[in-house]
């Protein structure tokens, strides 16, 4: 396949899609740069799957223009499908067959045969580190092992872009981290462009760029750092010498009209900038045993953008 160089490997312009009267995606525009880890974030029902399914040629949009690897959606869908690997929420693998058998069958769908097929399976297994369970039936694997097998399946035809629709949903935190490490490795070591959707905001910390959608629209976009600067407030946590001292400090803060929240044994003050901690600390110093200034998390970002928790 001819390689097309561009700073945008995916371009989505004014994409819209309705299901009957439900407007799932409303005029969404964004782009993805090659080799990046791109996170498409939003709560359940925000329109993430609809967008990803449209980009991947599985769903016809009502409006909008989409370019993937230089190919135009609706005109060059075959070329788009050759350029992408997709990990669906539902696996495509057969539970009764071993991982290896599954991958060989899937590889043959891409017209891979003989040595070429063997090599493709070997390479996909290497990057996903599946040696220890290659000969086991897919149905007998743990959730995390299955996910890695699903990812390997999507890599057989050496796509340029890997799409993962909520790859870690339903996995326990430890397994989520393992799967996440595999994804990051693919991007860092293989230079793969990774497009993923997730409703775990903390996973987006590792992304190069995030687009946050809510109600089918782009609510915010930027690097995790940009988003945190803009939407998540820093927090100053004050630890007092004793309960009595804390009580005195609470009164003083109230008198000075400095907003605070009680968090267990600590008082928490929202800051617009880190530097805002200084005058508060000066005031609080006589009562303090210690303090911390914490950067906002990506969960705070989501709260800042939408006014609600992502898993509400």
Residue 211, Cβ density class (10 Å: 0-12 exposed, 13-18 middle, ≥19 buried): buried
Of 49 and 145, which CB lies nearer to ligand ADP in the complex structure? 49
Of 46 and 152, which CB lies nearer to ligand ADP in the complex structure? 46
Least distance to ligand ADP from the beta carbon of 51, Å?
7
Of 136 and 215, which CB lies nearer to ligand ADP in the complex structure? 215
Radius of gyration of the chain (CA): 24
Least distance to ligand ADP from the beta carbon of 50, Å?
3
Least distance to ligand ADP from the beta carbon of 170, Å?
14
Least distance to ligand ADP from the beta carbon of 49, Å?
3
Least distance to ligand ADP from the beta carbon of 14, Å?
17
Which positions lie near ligand ADP, rule CB under 6 A? 19, 22, 24, 42, 44-50
C-alpha–C-alpha distance, residues 285 and 96, integer Å? 66
Place of tokens 């996903």: 128
Of 100 and 214, which CB lies nearer to ligand ADP in the complex structure? 214
Of 124 and 298, which CB lies nearer to ligand ADP in the complex structure? 298
Of 194 and 269, which CB lies nearer to ligand ADP in the complex structure? 194
Least distance to ligand ADP from the beta carbon of 166, Å?
8
């Amino acid at each position: 396949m001819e390689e097309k160089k561009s700073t945008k490997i995916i371009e989505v312009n004014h994409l819209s899609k309705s299901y009957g009267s439900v407007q799932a995606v409303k005029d969404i525009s964004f782009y993805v740069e090659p080799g990046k880890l791109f996170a498409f974030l939003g709560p359940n029902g925000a329109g993430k799957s609809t967008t990803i399914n449209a980009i991947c040629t599985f769903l016809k949009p009502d409006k909008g223009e989409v370019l993937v690897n230089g190919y135009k959606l609706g005109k060059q869908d075959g070329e788009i499908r050759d350029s992408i690997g997709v990990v669906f929420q539902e696996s495509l693998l057969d539970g009764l067959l071993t991982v290896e058998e599954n991958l060989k069958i899937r590889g043959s769908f891409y017209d891979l045969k003989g040595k070429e097929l063997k090599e493709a399976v070997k390479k996909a297994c290497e990057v996903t580190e599946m040696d220890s369970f290659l000969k086991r039936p897919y149905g007998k694997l743990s959730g995390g092992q299955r996910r890695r097998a699903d990812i390997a399946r999507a890599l057989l035809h050496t796509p340029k872009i890997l799409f993962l629709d909520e790859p870690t949903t339903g996995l326990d935190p430890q397994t989520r981290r393992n799967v996440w490490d595999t994804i990051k490795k693919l991007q860092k070591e293989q230079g793969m462009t990774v497009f993923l959707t997730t409703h775990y905001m903390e996973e987006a910390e590792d992304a190069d760029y995030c687009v946050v959608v809510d109600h089918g629209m782009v609510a915010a976009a930027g690097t995790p750092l940009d988003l945190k600067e803009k939407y998540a407030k820093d927090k100053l946590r004050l630890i007092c010498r004793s309960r009595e001292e804390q009580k005195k400090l609470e009164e003083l803060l109230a008198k000075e009209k400095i907003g605070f929240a009680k968090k267990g044994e600590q008082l928490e003050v929202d800051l617009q900038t880190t530097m805002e901690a200084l005058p508060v600390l000066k005031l609080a110093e006589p009562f303090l045993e210690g303090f911390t200034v914490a950067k906002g998390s990506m969960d705070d970002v989501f709260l800042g953008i939408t006014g609600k928790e992502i898993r509400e």
